[in-house]
Amino acid sequence: MSIKTTLKGILKSNIYDFKHGKKSKLSKSTYARLSKHDKFYRKEQSANFNDHKIHFAAPFWFLHSVHELFVGEVYRFKSDKQTPYIIDCGANIGLSVIYFKELFKDAKVLAFEADPTVYKQLQKNLGEYKYNNLDLVNAAVWDSKTTLKFSSEGS
């Protein structure tokens, strides 16, 4: 089974929530426009998301991330603190940061993104939100001090 088939199944299983529900934060027309593209399609574009403009290059993966984060809530966690310190190692275009800030609006978030092109989208997207307690870093994170080769796929 291909990843495209698997993801289509996931999306269809929650299609009402995803297309019409508040959790997805996308309009039906935006979803319809973006869902026409396969996982290999790349083009700089933007969409209205959560009453803000969000910029991205891969519509298929944008929709996948929206579904995973806002419908599936894979990053949901409970905290004893109202202001947890969250480290996001691979913030991509910022959807995870938006999710964390909705979960804990006063959280301190340190977000890393290694890809310089994606980092620019991250900055642009989160600039729209004007969050406090947010630091963005254009760097990769690893578990030891070493030199590694970074290869960007432009996700």
Q: Where are the domains of the chain?
A: 1-74, 78-150
Name the strand (E) or helix (H) holding 45. strand 45-49
Q: Distances from the Cα of 11 to the Cαs of 7, 17, 61, 62, 84, in angstroms?
A: 6, 9, 12, 13, 31
Q: Please give the pLDDT value at position 76.
A: 96
Give the model's pLDDT for residue 16: 38
> Using CA atoms in the order 126, 121, 146, 141, what is the torsion angle rounded to 10 degrees?
40
Give the CA count within 13 Å in the CB-facing half-sphere of 102: 15
Q: What is the pLDDT of residue 4?
A: 67
Pairing of strands 134-137, 52-56: unpaired
pLDDT for 117: 93
Which residue is listed with tokens 């070493």?
Answer: 146
Tell me which residues of the chain have a pLDDT lower than 70: 1, 4-23, 153-155
Please list the residues that pair with 111 across neighbouring strands.
Answer: 88, 136
Four-way CATH pick for 78-150: 3.30.1540.20, 3.40.50.720, 3.40.50.150, 3.40.920.10: 3.40.50.150
